Amino acid sequence: MLCPFCQAIDSKVIDSRSSEDGAVIRRRRSCIVCKRRFTTYERYEERPLFVIKRGGNREQFDRNKLLNGLARACEKRPVSLDAIENIVSSVEADLRDHHDREVSSMVIGEMLMDKLRSLDKVAYVRFASVYRQFTDLDSFINTIDQLENK
């Protein structure tokens, strides 16, 4: 494994742990050359999943985009990074289980909003405002009314 600090090729594994229900192995490594430590994650390679965007174009599924979007919605809220990771992992697992090769971005957004609604209502409204592209105050009010009614 390439060291992120000195770019040396060799490193040794100090500790390995399973995380995310066994789907990922977290490895703590030490560089042979500079002696600095770093963490790597190993996950099995899955068949590619493509997202069909609103404009009709397709792009490969990227879990980091989901993590970043949820992190922005949960900014300055009492939501842990572990909770955000769990939501993304859950949605990704559902997508891979129930969709063969392609999935609409609309489906992904709705799945994320369903999970976020039960986690933090303010983060839910923030995410919904970007996802549903609110253009006026009535859109916000309707979303908040729907949230209160559920």
Listed by start position, the domains of the chain span 11-43, 50-149
Pair of tokens at residue 65: 């985009």
Pair of tokens at residue 11: 């490193």
Q: Is the pLDDT of residue 20 over 90?
A: no
CB 85 within 8 A of CB 110: no
Give residue-wise pLDDT tens across range 56-89.
999 999 999 999 999 999 999 999 999 999 999 9
Question: What are the CA-CA distances from residue 55 to residues 58, 106, 114 (Å)?
Answer: 9, 11, 23
CB 102 within 8 A of CB 49: yes
- How many angstroms separate the most distant Cα atoms in the chain? 60
pTM: 0.62
CB 29 within 8 A of CB 12: yes
